[in-house]
Amino acid sequence: MSNFGSERKSGRDAVGDPVEPDLHRYDHSGSNGYARQDDLPERDEEELDAREGRSLMHDIELGDDTFENDGSWRQRLRASGLKAFIYITWANLLRTIYGLGFFGTIRAIFNYPEPGIKLRPTAWLDGLRGLAAFEVFIFHYDDGWIDRSLGWGNIKFTDPAWYRAPFIRTFYASGDGAVCLFFAISGFALSYKVLTLIRTQQHEKILASLSSSVFRRGIRLYMPVAIETFILMIVCRMGLPKPVGYDSAPTLFLEIQNWALSFSRLLMPLRYPDRWDKIIDKYDGGISWTIPLEYWGSLVVYVTLLMFSRTRSRRVRLAITTLIILTAFHKDDWIAAVFLLGMSYADYKIDHEAGLKAERSHLPTLGDPKRRKPWRPTLGRWRSTFFFAVFLFGFYLAGLPGGRMVHNPDDPADYHIESRPSFDWITQPIAWMGWYFQRQMDRYILSFAGLALLMGTGESPVRRLMETRFVQYLGRISFGLYLCHIFLHAWLKPLDWHYKSWVGLDPALTAAEQPRAAHARLFAAYLMSMAPATVVNFIVGGLFERFLDRPSVNAGRRFEEICLAVGGKMSASDGARQEDPSDSSADPHGFGGQETGVIRLEDLPRERNAP
């Protein structure tokens, strides 16, 4: 009878069925508003037994004990803790948003730079690198929408569409050229500080700088890749789309073994291109193939700088560097070649800027025995125009369509390159000389395109564009944008079906199968896909810079400090370690800005034999 009383209080029976109201329930004379048990009407014994039986079956089905529930308090405690955590998290989030304001919140989400940040003299390199990373992002997100390999024309392997014309195609089809530009930028930056020290013959600082760079370079390059690929291995095993198709291992332990083996192959970039297939990491879609090449090019630059550490003449350095580049060309090592091209430009730029500032600050006087020619603004304008033309040439060359080599079945050395209109004046003479045979000749052409873009930007008004706030933002997130856009593409790709449907296209047809009359709608669908993809990639790139890229820089510094501290006290030169180009967090290949305040260009002597 006690159970029956409790059921009546709740207004529902034990199994949740509504209970008919009892006219005798309320006792207005009672203190609690309920009738005494003795005042309740008598019930049929069978009805009470049936009701209690249903209550017992209900408790058994729920795994609950009406009389003594040992787990209910734990469940209530967990629920209360979860609610408290959610409440505190949202409260902190709302308080942060309120403190930052709307635009401050947007900046925090995207990791956008604050206004008014003072730029380094070499900040234009960060912007150029950011645009190159953005081009690689566009290049890969074109997959499934356009065939980038087709040139402009009416012959085989070409298309007469206007958007395949030179210069225009560079905006969406120059991803390979952007990688070469990455390497040229790295060659410039890794050598900039050491070359300034070489000019003043500060041998102790040269050795300390090179040692510091080599210590931290590997950690700076590989630590973000290791963490990113491990996370991707886990989440793709849990069901998210894989960047490339591969069969998962039967167990997690075997999967971790496969991941470790795949990552270990990135560590030693030797015997390239013999081991090309070994440096393709399936867990990130293969985008990290440039990391070991970046490491190799960095080591080539460091060794070359060590050899040059006691040289005084830029012409000597240029002659030896040219010889090394020709040797690299002979052995098909385009990576080393483009790094050294960037290093040579850094040597030239340091000398030119030092001489230019010296000429501006030492105007000729009547009593000056060594009269100097005054700096002429007209000459500067002509020089700026020339290098802007160099930039345009590099921009044109970066849009080189993919080449197709046709071999004679009886003689592999007998081959020809299919025509690429608007570019044949460069490619066909090279093919006629036999340089395409057993060489990645297009990579060399794109390497010179990267050098032209680098020099044209650094010596023309294009440099100011690279120093704008948005382009500097691209430089900040460039490493994350570069490494993350492939797996994000795999996760966003299923949405393409909807974009095609919304513009009235058949989603089952590929871009190549769509009629030419529908190309405008196809382009509209492509723009619709790029809008959310750009936002997602920018946010993830900002998170990557904040939580993976920046900590890897600090880890490299900490590792160096620990190694130098073991065995005794650090020297003054070791303790006062200066900023090195290789540990900026804005580089998709591990390069960063340098502290140019240590050595002022106006304090550098201009070499007498410099042109």
Same structural domain for residues 461 and 543? yes
Same structural domain for residues 26 and 162? no
pLDDT band of 20, cuts 50, 70, 90: very low
pLDDT of residue 18: 46
> Considering the domain boundaries, does residue 445 fall inside one?
yes
pLDDT of residue 437: 81
Q: Is 269 helix (H, G, I), strand (E, B) or coil?
A: coil
pTM of the model: 0.80
Mean pLDDT of 408-426: 85
Mean pLDDT of 12-28: 44
d(CA 419, CA 531): 36
pLDDT band of 117, cuts 50, 70, 90: confident
> Considering the domain boundaries, does residue 330 fall inside one?
yes
Q: Is the dihedral of CA 579, 457, 354, 297 positive or negative?
A: positive
d(CA 564, CA 275): 35
Query: Which residue, chain included where needed, has tokens 């034999």?
Result: 609
Contact present, 406 and 416 (Cβ < 8 Å)? yes
Same structural domain for residues 53 and 81? no
d(CA 380, CA 357): 13
Q: Which of 81-90, 279-288, 350-359 has the highest mean pLDDT?
A: 279-288
Q: Which of 230-239, 373-382, 598-607 has the highest mean pLDDT?
A: 230-239
Of the two residues 362 and 183, the one the predictor is more confident about is 183
Same structural domain for residues 494 and 403? yes
> Considering the domain boundaries, does residue 271 fall inside one?
no
CB proximity list for 132: less than 8 A, separation 6 or greater = 178, 179, 181, 182, 185, 478, 588
Cα 533 to chain centroid, rounded: 14
3-state helix, strand, coil in the chain (%, to 5): 65, 5, 35
Same structural domain for residues 52 and 85? no
CB proximity list for 212: less than 8 A, separation 6 or greater = 560, 577, 580
Same structural domain for residues 142 and 179? yes
d(CA 5, CA 2): 5
CB proximity list for 114: less than 8 A, separation 6 or greater = 107
CA atoms within 13 A on the CB side of 530: 18
Mean pLDDT of 439-466: 96
pLDDT of residue 96: 75
Taking only the tens place, the pLDDT of each residue in 512-545 is: 888 888 889 999 999 999 999 999 999 999 999 9
Ramachandran assignment for 598, one of left (phi > 0), alpha (psi -120 to 50 degrees), beta (any other): alpha
Please tell me what DSSP assigns to residue 159.
E
Same structural domain for residues 312 and 351? yes
Percent over 70 (pLDDT), the chain: 77
pLDDT of residue 237: 94
d(CA 538, CA 480): 9
Same structural domain for residues 55 and 165? no
Same structural domain for residues 14 and 128? no
Residue 374 reports pLDDT greater than 90? no
Residue 244 reports pLDDT greater than 80? yes
Percent over 90 (pLDDT), the chain: 58
pLDDT of residue 30: 42
Residue 397 reports pLDDT greater than 80? yes
User: Considering only 284-293, 325-334, 553-562, 570-579, which range has the smallest mean pLDDT?
Assistant: 570-579
CA atoms within 13 A on the CB side of 380: 11
Structural domain boundaries, residue 89: 70-110
d(CA 214, CA 190): 11
Same structural domain for residues 55 and 88? no
Taking only the tens place, the pLDDT of each residue in 268-280 is: 877 666 677 778 8
Our CA dihedral for 279, 282, 288, 292, rounded to 10 degrees, sits at -20
> Considering the domain boundaries, does residue 28 fall inside one?
yes
Cα 521 to chain centroid, rounded: 30
pLDDT of residue 472: 97
User: End-to-end alpha-carbon separation of the chain, Å?
Assistant: 109
pLDDT of residue 71: 55
> Considering the domain boundaries, does residue 257 fall inside one?
no
> Considering the domain boundaries, does residue 231 fall inside one?
no
The amino acid at 322: T
> Considering the domain boundaries, does residue 228 fall inside one?
no
Same structural domain for residues 104 and 135? no
Q: Annotate 309-363 with three-state secondary structure.
A: CCCCCHHHHHHHHHHHHHHHHHCCCHHHHHHHHHHHHHHHHHHHHHHHHHHHHCC
Residue 576 reports pLDDT greater than 70? no
Q: Is 594 helix (H, G, I), strand (E, B) or coil?
A: coil
pLDDT of residue 26: 39
Domain count, the chain: 3
Residue 601 reports pLDDT greater than 80? no
pLDDT of residue 116: 84
> Backbone phi, then psi, for 89, in 5-degree steps?
-60, -50
Q: Which helix (H) or strand (E) holds 407?
A: strand 405-408
> Considering the domain boundaries, does residue 278 fall inside one?
no
Query: Which residue, chain included where needed, has tokens 């569409």?
Result: 161
Ramachandran assignment for 508, one of left (phi > 0), alpha (psi -120 to 50 degrees), beta (any other): alpha
> What size, in residues, is the chain?
611
Q: Which of 33-37, 284-288, 510-514 has the highest mean pLDDT?
A: 284-288
d(CA 201, CA 182): 29
Same structural domain for residues 97 and 146? no
Tokens of 117: 């940040």
pLDDT of residue 1: 43
Long-range own/partner contacts, residues 521-530 (CB < 8 A, 24 or more apart) = 522/145, 525/496, 525/499, 525/500, 526/145, 526/146, 526/499, 528/499, 528/502, 528/503, 529/141, 529/145, 529/492, 529/495, 529/496, 529/499, 530/138, 530/141
Q: Which of 60-69, 201-210, 356-365 has the highest mean pLDDT?
A: 201-210
Query: Average pLDDT of the chain?
Result: 82
pLDDT of residue 183: 98
